[in-house]
A and B are shown apart, each in its own frame.
Chain A
Protein backbone atom coordinates (compact mmCIF):
# COMPACT_ATOMS: atom_id res chain seq x y z
CA UNK A 1 0.00 0.00 0.00
CA UNK A 2 1.58 3.28 -0.94
CA UNK A 3 0.42 6.64 0.30
CA UNK A 4 -0.82 7.67 -3.13
CA UNK A 5 -3.07 4.66 -3.40
CA UNK A 6 -6.61 5.65 -4.25
CA UNK A 7 -8.79 3.22 -2.34
CA UNK A 8 -9.16 4.33 1.25
CA UNK A 9 -11.40 1.38 2.04
CA UNK A 10 -8.39 -0.90 1.57
CA UNK A 11 -6.47 0.83 4.32
CA UNK A 12 -6.54 -0.37 7.88
CA UNK A 13 -8.10 2.20 10.22
CA UNK A 14 -4.86 3.68 11.48
CA UNK A 15 -3.31 3.88 8.01
CA UNK A 16 -6.46 5.69 6.92
CA UNK A 17 -6.16 8.09 9.86
CA UNK A 18 -2.57 9.01 8.97
CA UNK A 19 -3.49 9.32 5.33
CA UNK A 20 -6.37 11.66 6.16
CA UNK A 21 -4.13 13.80 8.33
CA UNK A 22 -1.51 14.08 5.62
CA UNK A 23 -4.20 14.98 3.09
CA UNK A 24 -5.73 17.67 5.30
CA UNK A 25 -2.37 19.27 6.04
CA UNK A 26 -1.31 19.11 2.41
CA UNK A 27 -4.54 20.70 1.16
CA UNK A 28 -4.13 23.49 3.69
CA UNK A 29 -0.63 24.12 2.38
CA UNK A 30 0.95 23.31 5.76
CA UNK A 31 3.12 20.43 4.66
CA UNK A 32 4.82 19.36 1.43
CA UNK A 33 4.36 15.61 0.81
CA UNK A 34 7.59 15.58 -1.19
CA UNK A 35 9.38 16.66 1.98
CA UNK A 36 8.04 13.53 3.69
CA UNK A 37 9.44 11.38 0.88
CA UNK A 38 12.88 12.92 1.41
CA UNK A 39 12.72 12.51 5.20
CA UNK A 40 11.85 8.82 4.81
CA UNK A 41 14.55 8.27 2.19
CA UNK A 42 17.11 9.99 4.42
CA UNK A 43 16.46 7.65 7.33
CA UNK A 44 16.11 4.57 5.14
CA UNK A 45 19.22 5.05 3.06
CA UNK A 46 21.53 7.75 4.47
CA UNK A 47 21.43 7.89 8.25
CA UNK A 48 21.82 4.62 10.08
CA UNK A 49 24.05 2.53 12.33
CA UNK A 50 26.87 2.46 9.75
CA UNK A 51 27.59 6.05 10.77
CA UNK A 52 28.05 5.04 14.38
CA UNK A 53 30.09 1.98 13.43
CA UNK A 54 32.55 4.21 11.60
CA UNK A 55 32.87 6.41 14.67
CA UNK A 56 33.64 3.38 16.81
CA UNK A 57 36.11 1.94 14.29
CA UNK A 58 37.96 5.23 14.14
CA UNK A 59 38.10 5.40 17.93
CA UNK A 60 39.54 1.87 18.00
CA UNK A 61 42.16 2.76 15.40
CA UNK A 62 43.19 6.23 16.45
CA UNK A 63 43.90 6.97 20.13
CA UNK A 64 43.84 10.72 19.54
CA UNK A 65 40.37 10.43 18.02
CA UNK A 66 39.23 8.20 20.89
CA UNK A 67 40.42 10.83 23.34
CA UNK A 68 38.59 13.57 21.45
CA UNK A 69 35.45 11.42 21.35
CA UNK A 70 35.70 10.99 25.11
CA UNK A 71 36.09 14.72 25.74
CA UNK A 72 33.77 16.18 23.09
CA UNK A 73 31.78 13.56 21.25
CA UNK A 74 29.62 16.14 19.46
CA UNK A 75 32.64 17.74 17.79
CA UNK A 76 34.48 14.46 17.16
CA UNK A 77 31.42 12.95 15.48
CA UNK A 78 30.70 16.14 13.57
CA UNK A 79 34.22 15.90 12.09
CA UNK A 80 32.98 12.80 10.25
CA UNK A 81 29.95 14.81 9.03
CA UNK A 82 27.43 12.92 11.15
CA UNK A 83 25.38 15.77 12.50
CA UNK A 84 21.79 16.68 12.96
CA UNK A 85 18.49 15.93 14.52
CA UNK A 86 18.72 13.95 17.78
CA UNK A 87 22.50 14.14 17.65
CA UNK A 88 22.97 17.77 18.61
CA UNK A 89 24.56 16.90 21.96
CA UNK A 90 26.48 13.64 21.94
CA UNK A 91 28.28 11.74 24.67
CA UNK A 92 30.38 8.63 23.99
CA UNK A 93 30.68 6.08 26.80
CA UNK A 94 33.40 3.44 26.64
CA UNK A 95 33.04 -0.14 27.78
CA UNK A 96 35.97 -1.50 29.78
CA UNK A 97 36.93 -4.86 31.29
CA UNK A 98 35.26 -3.68 34.51
CA UNK A 99 32.15 -1.86 33.30
CA UNK A 100 29.51 -2.44 30.66
CA UNK A 101 27.39 0.52 29.53
CA UNK A 102 23.73 0.33 28.56
CA UNK A 103 21.55 3.14 27.21
CA UNK A 104 17.82 3.59 27.66
CA UNK A 105 15.28 6.37 27.70
CA UNK A 106 12.71 5.43 30.32
CA UNK A 107 10.60 8.52 29.60
CA UNK A 108 10.18 8.26 25.84
CA UNK A 109 12.65 7.01 23.25
CA UNK A 110 15.56 9.44 23.14
CA UNK A 111 18.15 7.94 20.81
CA UNK A 112 21.10 9.26 18.79
CA UNK A 113 19.43 9.38 15.38
CA UNK A 114 22.40 11.08 13.69
CA UNK A 115 24.70 8.10 14.32
CA UNK A 116 22.33 5.15 14.76
CA UNK A 117 19.35 6.13 12.61
CA UNK A 118 15.80 5.54 13.81
CA UNK A 119 15.43 3.44 16.96
CA UNK A 120 14.21 -0.16 16.76
CA UNK A 121 10.73 -0.92 18.07
CA UNK A 122 12.02 -2.74 21.17
CA UNK A 123 13.95 0.36 22.24
CA UNK A 124 10.73 2.38 22.25
CA UNK A 125 8.50 -0.27 23.81
CA UNK A 126 7.59 -0.65 27.50
CA UNK A 127 9.43 -3.93 28.26
CA UNK A 128 12.87 -2.45 27.54
CA UNK A 129 12.17 1.03 28.92
CA UNK A 130 10.75 -0.34 32.18
CA UNK A 131 13.36 -2.99 32.91
CA UNK A 132 16.66 -1.64 31.59
CA UNK A 133 17.08 0.42 34.76
CA UNK A 134 15.91 -2.14 37.31
CA UNK A 135 17.06 -5.44 35.80
CA UNK A 136 19.66 -4.67 33.15
CA UNK A 137 21.38 -8.03 33.57
CA UNK A 138 18.11 -9.83 32.89
CA UNK A 139 17.41 -7.64 29.90
CA UNK A 140 20.86 -8.37 28.46
CA UNK A 141 20.21 -12.10 28.88
CA UNK A 142 17.15 -11.68 26.66
CA UNK A 143 19.48 -10.30 23.99
CA UNK A 144 21.70 -13.36 24.43
CA UNK A 145 24.38 -11.45 26.30
CA UNK A 146 25.48 -12.96 29.60
CA UNK A 147 27.93 -10.75 31.45
CA UNK A 148 30.30 -12.06 34.10
CA UNK A 149 28.79 -11.55 37.55
CA UNK A 150 31.73 -9.30 38.39
CA UNK A 151 31.15 -6.97 35.44
CA UNK A 152 29.62 -3.74 36.67
CA UNK A 153 26.66 -2.35 34.79
CA UNK A 154 26.26 1.34 34.15
CA UNK A 155 22.87 2.37 32.83
CA UNK A 156 22.51 5.77 31.19
CA UNK A 157 18.92 7.01 31.25
CA UNK A 158 18.62 9.70 28.54
CA UNK A 159 16.44 12.10 30.49
CA UNK A 160 17.76 15.31 28.91
CA UNK A 161 18.97 16.19 25.43
CA UNK A 162 22.29 14.35 25.62
CA UNK A 163 22.38 11.33 23.32
CA UNK A 164 24.64 8.41 24.13
CA UNK A 165 26.84 6.22 21.95
CA UNK A 166 28.35 3.14 23.57
CA UNK A 167 31.86 2.37 22.34
CA UNK A 168 32.24 -1.40 22.77
CA UNK A 169 35.60 -2.98 23.49
CA UNK A 170 37.70 -3.82 20.47
CA UNK A 171 37.78 -7.58 19.94
CA UNK A 172 41.10 -9.38 20.22
CA UNK A 173 42.69 -10.62 17.02
CA UNK A 174 41.95 -7.46 15.03
CA UNK A 175 45.42 -5.97 15.13
CA UNK A 176 46.26 -4.26 11.89
CA UNK A 177 42.68 -4.24 10.63
CA UNK A 178 41.50 -1.26 8.59
CA UNK A 179 38.75 1.01 9.89
CA UNK A 180 36.45 -0.41 7.21
CA UNK A 181 37.07 -3.97 8.43
CA UNK A 182 36.64 -2.96 12.06
CA UNK A 183 33.36 -1.16 11.37
CA UNK A 184 31.92 -4.47 10.16
CA UNK A 185 32.26 -5.82 13.71
CA UNK A 186 30.15 -3.04 15.23
CA UNK A 187 26.42 -3.66 15.36
CA UNK A 188 23.72 -1.20 16.24
CA UNK A 189 22.99 -3.14 19.41
CA UNK A 190 26.63 -2.96 20.48
CA UNK A 191 26.35 0.82 20.33
CA UNK A 192 23.25 0.77 22.55
CA UNK A 193 24.91 -1.70 24.89
CA UNK A 194 22.67 -4.73 24.36
CA UNK A 195 25.47 -6.59 22.53
CA UNK A 196 29.24 -6.75 22.34
CA UNK A 197 31.28 -6.15 19.22
CA UNK A 198 31.37 -9.20 16.96
CA UNK A 199 34.40 -11.44 17.21
CA UNK A 200 36.51 -11.72 14.05
CA UNK A 201 35.48 -14.77 12.01
Chain B
Protein backbone atom coordinates (compact mmCIF):
# COMPACT_ATOMS: atom_id res chain seq x y z
CA UNK B 1 0.00 0.00 0.00
CA UNK B 2 1.04 3.60 -0.44
CA UNK B 3 1.51 3.91 3.28
CA UNK B 4 3.83 5.90 5.50
CA UNK B 5 6.42 3.13 5.32
CA UNK B 6 7.13 3.77 1.63
CA UNK B 7 9.81 6.37 2.24
CA UNK B 8 12.19 6.21 -0.72
CA UNK B 9 12.66 9.70 -2.17
CA UNK B 10 10.42 11.54 0.29
CA UNK B 11 11.78 14.83 1.53
CA UNK B 12 11.67 16.89 4.68
CA UNK B 13 12.77 14.42 7.33
CA UNK B 14 16.00 16.28 8.03
CA UNK B 15 19.54 14.99 8.40
CA UNK B 16 20.49 11.48 9.42
CA UNK B 17 21.49 11.34 13.08
CA UNK B 18 24.22 8.74 13.56
CA UNK B 19 24.92 8.08 17.22
CA UNK B 20 28.43 7.42 18.51
CA UNK B 21 28.67 3.98 20.15
CA UNK B 22 24.93 3.50 19.90
CA UNK B 23 23.53 0.96 22.37
CA UNK B 24 21.32 -1.82 21.03
CA UNK B 25 18.46 -0.58 23.18
CA UNK B 26 17.62 2.93 24.31
CA UNK B 27 15.22 1.86 27.05
CA UNK B 28 14.50 -1.31 28.99
CA UNK B 29 11.05 -1.56 27.45
CA UNK B 30 12.59 -1.83 23.97
CA UNK B 31 14.18 -5.13 25.00
CA UNK B 32 10.81 -6.48 26.07
CA UNK B 33 9.20 -5.10 22.90
CA UNK B 34 11.67 -7.02 20.73
CA UNK B 35 11.21 -10.19 22.75
CA UNK B 36 7.42 -10.02 22.99
CA UNK B 37 7.20 -9.43 19.24
CA UNK B 38 9.43 -12.39 18.37
CA UNK B 39 7.74 -14.69 20.90
CA UNK B 40 4.26 -13.74 19.69
CA UNK B 41 5.36 -14.26 16.09
CA UNK B 42 6.61 -17.72 17.05
CA UNK B 43 3.01 -18.72 17.90
CA UNK B 44 2.64 -19.19 14.16
CA UNK B 45 -0.66 -17.34 13.69
CA UNK B 46 0.72 -14.81 11.23
CA UNK B 47 3.72 -14.46 8.93
CA UNK B 48 6.29 -11.72 8.43
CA UNK B 49 4.33 -10.21 5.54
CA UNK B 50 1.18 -9.85 7.60
CA UNK B 51 3.18 -8.22 10.40
CA UNK B 52 4.83 -5.78 7.96
CA UNK B 53 1.41 -4.89 6.61
CA UNK B 54 0.11 -4.29 10.14
CA UNK B 55 2.96 -1.83 10.70
CA UNK B 56 2.46 0.05 7.44
CA UNK B 57 -1.28 0.24 8.11
CA UNK B 58 -0.78 2.57 11.06
CA UNK B 59 -2.10 6.06 10.40
CA UNK B 60 0.74 8.09 8.87
CA UNK B 61 0.71 10.63 11.70
CA UNK B 62 1.01 7.79 14.20
CA UNK B 63 3.72 6.00 12.18
CA UNK B 64 5.93 9.06 11.81
CA UNK B 65 5.62 10.08 15.45
CA UNK B 66 6.44 6.60 16.76
CA UNK B 67 9.83 5.07 17.35
CA UNK B 68 10.46 1.81 15.53
CA UNK B 69 9.74 -0.45 18.52
CA UNK B 70 6.61 1.59 19.22
CA UNK B 71 5.50 0.81 15.67
CA UNK B 72 6.19 -2.86 16.35
CA UNK B 73 4.11 -2.92 19.52
CA UNK B 74 1.17 -1.01 18.02
CA UNK B 75 1.10 -3.43 15.09
CA UNK B 76 1.51 -6.41 17.40
CA UNK B 77 -1.58 -5.39 19.38
CA UNK B 78 -3.53 -5.30 16.10
CA UNK B 79 -2.30 -8.78 15.14
CA UNK B 80 -3.04 -10.23 18.58
CA UNK B 81 -6.58 -8.85 18.47
CA UNK B 82 -7.15 -9.97 14.89
CA UNK B 83 -6.16 -13.53 15.74
CA UNK B 84 -8.05 -13.72 19.03
CA UNK B 85 -5.13 -13.80 21.46
CA UNK B 86 -6.01 -10.58 23.26
CA UNK B 87 -9.16 -8.51 23.35
CA UNK B 88 -9.75 -4.80 23.57
CA UNK B 89 -10.96 -5.45 27.13
CA UNK B 90 -7.66 -7.14 28.01
CA UNK B 91 -5.69 -4.22 26.67
CA UNK B 92 -7.84 -1.59 28.35
CA UNK B 93 -7.60 -3.35 31.69
CA UNK B 94 -3.97 -4.36 31.30
CA UNK B 95 -5.02 -7.79 32.47
CA UNK B 96 -5.84 -11.20 31.02
CA UNK B 97 -9.64 -11.19 31.06
CA UNK B 98 -10.85 -12.95 27.94
CA UNK B 99 -9.95 -16.44 26.83
CA UNK B 100 -7.37 -16.65 24.07
CA UNK B 101 -7.25 -18.66 20.86
CA UNK B 102 -5.02 -21.71 21.01
CA UNK B 103 -1.57 -20.99 19.56
CA UNK B 104 0.17 -23.50 17.29
CA UNK B 105 3.12 -23.37 19.67
CA UNK B 106 4.63 -21.39 22.51
CA UNK B 107 8.32 -20.49 22.29
CA UNK B 108 10.02 -21.83 25.40
CA UNK B 109 13.30 -20.42 26.67
CA UNK B 110 15.23 -23.61 25.94
CA UNK B 111 14.17 -23.52 22.29
CA UNK B 112 15.16 -19.92 21.59
CA UNK B 113 18.72 -20.56 20.33
CA UNK B 114 17.55 -23.20 17.85
CA UNK B 115 14.63 -21.09 16.62
CA UNK B 116 16.78 -17.98 16.10
CA UNK B 117 19.48 -20.03 14.37
CA UNK B 118 16.95 -21.59 12.02
CA UNK B 119 15.25 -18.34 11.07
CA UNK B 120 12.45 -18.46 8.54
CA UNK B 121 13.72 -19.20 5.04
CA UNK B 122 11.17 -18.07 2.46
CA UNK B 123 12.73 -19.43 -0.71
CA UNK B 124 10.58 -22.04 -2.41
CA UNK B 125 11.16 -24.51 -5.24
CA UNK B 126 9.71 -23.26 -8.52
CA UNK B 127 7.95 -25.52 -11.00
CA UNK B 128 8.05 -22.98 -13.81
CA UNK B 129 11.28 -21.58 -15.28
CA UNK B 130 12.08 -17.92 -14.75
CA UNK B 131 10.49 -15.63 -17.35
CA UNK B 132 13.45 -13.24 -17.51
CA UNK B 133 17.21 -13.69 -17.61
CA UNK B 134 20.15 -11.51 -16.67
CA UNK B 135 20.53 -8.62 -19.13
CA UNK B 136 16.85 -8.44 -20.09
CA UNK B 137 15.32 -4.97 -20.27
CA UNK B 138 12.20 -4.77 -18.10
CA UNK B 139 9.70 -2.21 -16.96
CA UNK B 140 8.15 -2.27 -13.51
CA UNK B 141 4.40 -2.13 -13.46
CA UNK B 142 2.55 0.90 -12.27
CA UNK B 143 -0.03 -0.10 -9.71
CA UNK B 144 -1.32 1.31 -6.47
CA UNK B 145 -2.51 -1.61 -4.39
CA UNK B 146 -4.47 -0.97 -1.24
CA UNK B 147 -3.00 -4.17 0.20
CA UNK B 148 0.61 -5.05 0.93
CA UNK B 149 3.26 -4.80 -1.76
CA UNK B 150 7.05 -4.69 -1.83
CA UNK B 151 7.38 -2.61 -4.98
CA UNK B 152 8.26 0.89 -3.74
CA UNK B 153 6.44 3.83 -5.32
CA UNK B 154 9.64 5.39 -6.63
CA UNK B 155 10.35 2.26 -8.65
CA UNK B 156 6.97 1.86 -10.35
CA UNK B 157 6.59 2.32 -14.09
CA UNK B 158 10.37 2.54 -14.56
CA UNK B 159 12.65 0.92 -17.07
CA UNK B 160 15.49 -1.16 -15.71
CA UNK B 161 17.57 -4.21 -16.38
CA UNK B 162 17.60 -7.67 -14.86
CA UNK B 163 20.97 -8.02 -13.17
CA UNK B 164 20.42 -11.38 -11.53
CA UNK B 165 17.81 -14.08 -11.30
CA UNK B 166 17.55 -15.05 -7.63
CA UNK B 167 15.20 -17.79 -6.41
CA UNK B 168 11.55 -18.47 -5.94
CA UNK B 169 10.32 -16.57 -2.92
CA UNK B 170 7.00 -16.38 -1.08
CA UNK B 171 4.92 -13.59 -2.63
CA UNK B 172 4.27 -11.00 0.09
CA UNK B 173 1.39 -9.31 -1.71
CA UNK B 174 -0.77 -12.41 -1.20
CA UNK B 175 0.91 -13.94 1.84
CA UNK B 176 0.24 -10.82 3.91
CA UNK B 177 -3.48 -11.33 3.45
CA UNK B 178 -3.89 -15.04 4.12
CA UNK B 179 -4.07 -15.75 0.38
CA UNK B 180 -1.21 -18.21 0.28
CA UNK B 181 2.49 -18.17 -0.44
CA UNK B 182 2.18 -18.25 -4.25
CA UNK B 183 5.97 -18.19 -4.71
CA UNK B 184 7.40 -16.30 -7.68
CA UNK B 185 10.84 -15.77 -9.12
CA UNK B 186 12.65 -12.80 -7.64
CA UNK B 187 15.09 -10.72 -9.67
CA UNK B 188 17.58 -8.02 -8.86
CA UNK B 189 16.57 -5.16 -11.12
CA UNK B 190 18.88 -2.18 -11.62
CA UNK B 191 17.84 1.33 -12.61
CA UNK B 192 19.90 4.35 -13.52
CA UNK B 193 19.42 7.13 -10.99
CA UNK B 194 18.33 9.43 -13.81
CA UNK B 195 15.52 7.03 -14.81
CA UNK B 196 14.13 7.22 -11.29
CA UNK B 197 14.83 10.80 -10.25
CA UNK B 198 15.11 12.57 -13.59
CA UNK B 199 16.54 16.05 -13.83
CA UNK B 200 19.30 16.76 -11.35
CA UNK B 201 19.84 13.13 -10.38
CA UNK B 202 23.33 11.99 -9.41
CA UNK B 203 24.72 10.79 -12.76
CA UNK B 204 26.77 8.04 -11.11
CA UNK B 205 23.86 6.60 -9.16
CA UNK B 206 22.55 3.10 -9.78
CA UNK B 207 19.74 1.73 -7.63
CA UNK B 208 18.57 -1.84 -7.40
CA UNK B 209 15.49 -3.44 -5.94
CA UNK B 210 14.59 -7.09 -5.62
CA UNK B 211 11.39 -7.55 -7.58
CA UNK B 212 8.92 -10.42 -7.79
CA UNK B 213 8.20 -11.56 -11.34
CA UNK B 214 4.64 -10.25 -11.41
CA UNK B 215 5.99 -6.73 -10.78
CA UNK B 216 7.75 -6.80 -14.15
CA UNK B 217 6.98 -6.78 -17.84
CA UNK B 218 9.34 -6.87 -20.84
CA UNK B 219 10.52 -3.41 -21.89
Q: List residues of chain A with CB within 8 A of the CB of B26.
A: 121
Give chain A interface residues in 151-189, CB to chain B under 8 Å. Answer: 151-162, 189
Q: List residues of chain A with CB within 8 A of the CB of B122.
A: 88-89, 161
- The answer to whether A7 has its CB under 8 Å from any CB of chain B is no
Q: List residues of chain A with CB within 8 A of the CB of B95.
A: 20, 23-24, 27
- The answer to whether B8 has its CB under 8 Å from any CB of chain A is yes
Q: Is the CB of B91 within 8 A of A106?
A: no
Q: Is the CB of A35 within 8 A of B119?
A: no
CA distance A136 to B14 in the complex (A): 14
Q: Is the CB of A36 within 8 A of B32?
A: yes
Known: A39-B39, A85-B116, A136-B205. A19 touches B106 (CB 8 A): no
Interface residues as binary, B51-75 with A (CB distance below 8 Å gives 1, 0 otherwise) = 0100110000000100110100100
Q: Is the CB of A28 within 8 A of B96?
A: yes
Q: Is the CB of A157 within 8 A of B207?
A: yes
Q: Is the CB of A14 within 8 A of B70?
A: yes
Q: Is the CB of B8 within 8 A of A134?
A: yes
Interface residues as binary, A96-108 with B (CB distance below 8 Å gives 1, 0 otherwise) = 0000000010111
- The answer to whether A52 has its CB under 8 Å from any CB of chain B is no
Shortest C-beta distance, A168 to chain B (Å), equals 17
Which of B7, B73, B94, B208 has a CB less than 8 Å from the CB of A129?
B7
Query: Can you name the residue of chain B whose Cβ is closest to the Cβ of A139?
Result: B16
Interface residues as binary, A11-39 with B (CB distance below 8 Å gives 1, 0 otherwise) = 10011111111111101111110111111
Q: Is the CB of A28 within 8 A of B8?
A: no
Q: List residues of chain A with CB within 8 A of the CB of B56.
A: 107-108
Shortest C-beta distance, B165 to chain A (Å), equals 12
Known: A39-B112, A127-B15, A130-B9. A28 touches B119 (CB 8 A): no
Which of B36, B112, B209 has a CB less than 8 Å from the CB of A159?
B209
- The answer to whether B202 has its CB under 8 Å from any CB of chain A is yes
Q: List residues of chain B with CB within 8 A of the CB of A161.
A: 122-123, 169-170, 210
CA distance A139 to B8 in the complex (A): 13
- The answer to whether B46 has its CB under 8 Å from any CB of chain A is no
CA distance A133 to B152 in the complex (A): 11
Known: A84-B117, A85-B119. A38 touches B112 (CB 8 A): yes
Which secondary structure dominates where chain A touches chain B? mixed
Shortest C-beta distance, A116 to chain B (Å), equals 11
Q: List residues of chain A with CB within 8 A of the CB of B5.
A: 107-108
Interface residues as binary, A78-89 with B (CB distance below 8 Å gives 1, 0 otherwise) = 000001111111
Q: Is the CB of A31 within 8 A of B107?
A: yes
Q: List residues of chain B with CB within 8 A of the CB of A107.
A: 5-8, 52, 56, 150, 152
Q: Is the CB of A25 within 8 A of B40?
A: yes
Q: Is the CB of A32 within 8 A of B39?
A: yes
Known: A126-B13, A134-B8. A44 touches B24 (CB 8 A): yes
Q: Is the CB of B108 within 8 A of A160?
A: no
- The answer to whether A64 has its CB under 8 Å from any CB of chain B is no
- Give the most central of A16, A18, A88, A108: most B CB within 10 Å: A18
Interface pairs (27), CB distance under 8 Å:
A2-B28, A20-B94, A21-B36, A21-B77, A25-B86, A28-B96, A30-B103, A32-B39, A38-B112, A39-B34, A39-B38, A39-B39, A40-B25, A44-B25, A88-B123, A89-B122, A106-B152, A109-B68, A121-B67, A126-B10, A127-B14, A131-B11, A133-B207, A134-B11, A153-B206, A156-B208, A159-B209
Q: Which residues of A contact B (CB under 8 A)?
A: 1-3, 11, 14-25, 27-32, 34-40, 42-44, 47-48, 83-89, 104, 106-109, 114, 117-118, 120-122, 124-131, 133-137, 139, 142-143, 150-162, 189, 194
Given contacts A47-B116, A124-B68, A160-B210, 16 further A-B contacts (CB under 8 A): A1-B28, A18-B36, A19-B32, A25-B80, A25-B86, A30-B39, A30-B106, A35-B111, A83-B119, A107-B6, A107-B152, A108-B52, A121-B17, A134-B8, A154-B207, A155-B208
